[in-house]
Structure 1
Amino acid sequence: MERQTPPKAPRDEVAAALQTSRELGPDYDDAIAASLVERIDSAVEARVDAHLAGRLGGREPKQRVSYDEQWKSPRLILGLIAMVLSIPLTAVSGGLLGPAGVLLSWLGMLMLYLIAVVGLGRR
């Protein structure tokens, strides 16, 4: 597998943007700065991608999960439901069966959660 050199933001582009800014005047400074930032961002992104590709040995990097998608995760929802149900289930089982009931209810919740997580991981 050939190692590719990541693209760099050439100094000539920065110098050309500064020269253009001087020639066009302050009215175009924002547009020139935005254009320069886009070019630098794309160069940095390409370098990061090349670095990750080198570290991962050709495998695709995992997709980043957005903040909104994170809260839609079945594992998170299942974990929150287990936490909410644990308090009343512990109280009821402890009241009816004592410490053995508490242990039994927690083992049941743990087993249910582990089975669900392992099942979700196979997708």
Structure 2
Amino acid sequence: MPEPRVPRDEAEAALHARRELGADFEPAVVDSFVDRIDAAIEARVAQEVKRAGKPAPRRKDDGHALALAIVSLGVAIPLSGLAAHEAGVAGLVVAWLGIVLVNLAHALSRLRRGD
């Protein structure tokens, strides 16, 4: 049985569409291509698990970790500038410490739940 793959022409088409559609549609094009890659990876993992005789692991990721990372970076840029301008290096350290702690708390809660 051949292994599931994302065909090269699909990758090239996604890159071409990204260039053609511009920045407004870039997130949608990238998300669509990443979904296809995820599906191919999941199919490969399922095949390997099936060969090993174990049930396929269930995917629990609902996108919250990625969303938190994106929001954290989006907030970090203006927050860093504001904190550095208003409070100097100490403000910058406090701002980044808050961002890191929020992400760390989320990661630890996922570990405790077994995600």
State the TM-score, normalized to the length of structure 2: 0.49
Which of the pair has more CA radius of gyration?
1
TM-score of the superposed pair, with normalisation by structure 1:
0.46
